[in-house]
Amino acid sequence: MWKQILERSVSGFELLCVMRVICVFQVLICRNYRGDVDMSEIEHFMSLLMDKEEEGTLSPILAHGGVRFMWIKHNNLYLVATSKKNACVSLVFSFLYKIIQVFSEYFKELEEESIRDNFVIIYELLDELMDFGYPQTTDSKILQE
């Protein structure tokens, strides 16, 4: 399935971050797959999110300069993918939701504590789930082998 979607996609996405928001924005885990998007770009996400929320124009895709932030919220965590290219947005969102599903199967609950306790496994899973910005295997049964 991913291969068919990828063939229609112009580009993969670059940076995948999981962050939490309580009072302070903090990146919990981050993986830059291609290096096209500077790691400091993620610092613009939270202020941009808050500005758009105040204006009443919040959307699941935010832009700052040439970078697009595609994000979803799960519990008090934000999963964010970034791209400077014309990425297939439906693929990105499908992948973000699949990450939630896979991590929830591995750790029972996807929350800040499970990320902190299992960050090594999370990085290993991210390397299996995605290669050079393109989704690969997302079946948790195959990943557990």
Average pLDDT of 80-97? 88
Q: How confident is the model at residue 52 (pLDDT cuts 50, 70, 90)?
A: very high
Task: Using pLDDT thresholds of 50, 70 and 90, give the confidence band for residue 96.
Answer: very high
**pLDDT (0 to 100) of residue 86:** 83
CA distance 10 to 85: 8
**Tell me, what CATH number does 115's domain have?**
3.30.450.60
Number of domains in the chain: 1
Please give the DSSP secondary-structure letter assigned to residue 11. B
Q: What is the pLDDT confidence band of residue 1, given thresholds at 50, 70 and 90?
A: very low
Domain of 79 in residue numbering reads as 2-143
Per-residue pLDDT for 38 more than 90?
no
Instruction: State residue 10 phi and psi, 5-degree precision.
Output: -75, -40
d(CA 98, CA 1): 13
Is 68 buried (19+), middle (13-18) or exposed (0-12) by CB count in 10 A?
A: buried
Residue 6 has pLDDT above 50, yes or no: no
- Reply yes or no on whether the pLDDT at 42 is more than 50: yes
For 92, residues 6+ apart whose C-beta sits below 8 A from its C-beta are: 13, 70, 81, 83
